[in-house]
């Protein structure tokens, strides 16, 4: 009998743009609703924003008071939802830090059987009049958090990390095909332009998909997007809450990298400083 042709690797992904609040229970409930909708639309990877477990603006001491361990209620809820809907979920949370006054700005990727990858934000948002480091402990540098789904490798980074191309390069060196970027990209002059430009730039320079989930207005800029390896927006959300779905395809990654072998042509490596 002739062999059955291999099915090309493809992963339908969803970005879920929503506004986390100071109610941890309400945030979990909203994530459950959005996960159900994304799964019903065919998504196998569902991405939520930074600080999905708990968020206040401006940040204050309640952030640390509401931080959770990785085996806490938030991650347990994500894992249960991932099991119920047969998806992988990526979301940001305020994780307990090494001291009681700070949190770790953490992103987890979970499947129904547990955590696949964990990333702690390396570049804190001490810019544009903000001082995230007052409340957040920076993650250790030098590592790359990735996970595989259907033959495609996804790498994790967070919000302000987007302004530092070295982060995405370390993920490429770890074999990533797509960058997953939970964010709370704060509004301000030209901030929407910076957000969309940097998403496209990270996609183009790495010949990789970029899957980015932001908070909606009025605090975030919105515009959560799925961008292909040539910088083309495949699907996106406007400024309100919503879901966008598109498919990440192995064949597209391979084709773009064959035509534009910029990763192979690099003459510099990235190292921590």
CA distance 94 to 59: 12
Count CB atoms within 10 A of the CB of residue 144: 19
Residue 16 annotated in active site: no
Contact assessment for residue 258 and residue 251, using Cβ atoms and an 8 Å cutoff: no
Q: Per the residue annotation, which of 16, 121, 184, 249 is the catalytic one?
A: 121
Residue 50 annotated in active site: yes
CA-closest candidate to residue 185, choices 57, 95, 81: 57
Q: Per the residue annotation, which of 50, 68, 132, 137 is the catalytic one?
A: 50
Q: State the DSSP code for 98.
A: S
CA distance 215 to 238: 11
Contact assessment for residue 211 and residue 224, using Cβ atoms and an 8 Å cutoff: no
CA distance 218 to 239: 8
Q: Which two tokens stand for residue 240?
A: 């309100």
Q: Per the residue annotation, which of 16, 159, 184, 249 is the catalytic one?
A: 159
Q: Tokens 């605090």 map to which residue?
A: 219
What are the CA-CA distances from residue 10 to residues 181, 191, 203 (Å)?
19, 32, 18
Q: Tokens 């347990």 map to which residue?
A: 76
Residue 191 annotated in active site: no
Secondary structure element (H or E) that encloses residue 13, with its range: strand 10-17
CA distance 125 to 60: 15
CA distance 7 to 119: 31
**Residues annotated as catalytic (active site), given as ranges:** 50, 121, 159
């Amino acid at each position: 009998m002739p062999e059955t042709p291999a099915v090309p690797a493809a992963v339908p992904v969803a970005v879920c743009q929503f506004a986390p609040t100071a109610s941890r229970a309400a945030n979990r409930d909203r994530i459950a609703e959005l996960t159900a909708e994304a799964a019903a639309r065919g998504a196998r990877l569902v991405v939520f924003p930074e600080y999905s477990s708990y968020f206040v603006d401006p940040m204050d001491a309640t952030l640390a008071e509401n931080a959770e361990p990785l085996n806490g209620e938030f991650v347990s809820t994500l894992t249960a939802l991932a099991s119920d809907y047969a998806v992988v979920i990526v979301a940001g949370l305020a994780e307990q830090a090494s001291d009681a006054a700070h949190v770790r700005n953490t992103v987890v990727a979970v499947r129904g059987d547990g955590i696949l990858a964990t990333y702690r934000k390396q570049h804190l948002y001490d810019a544009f009049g903000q001082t995230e480091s007052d409340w957040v402990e920076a993650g250790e540098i030098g590592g790359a958090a990735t996970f595989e789904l259907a033959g495609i490798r996804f790498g994790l980074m967070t919000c302000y990390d987007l302004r530092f191309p070295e982060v995405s390069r370390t993920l490429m060196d770890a074999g990533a095909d797509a960058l997953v970027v939970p964010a709370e990209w704060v509004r301000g002059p030209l901030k929407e332009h910076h957000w969309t430009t940097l998403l496209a730039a990270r996609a183009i320079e790495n010949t990789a998909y970029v899957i980015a989930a932001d908070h909606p207005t009025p605090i975030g800029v919105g515009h959560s997007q799925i961008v292909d390896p040539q910088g083309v927006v495949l699907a996106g959300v406007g400024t309100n809450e919503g879901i966008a779905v598109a498919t990440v395809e192995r064949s597209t990654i391979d084709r773009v990298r064959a035509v534009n072998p910029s990763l192979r042509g690099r003459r510099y490596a990235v190292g921590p400083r």
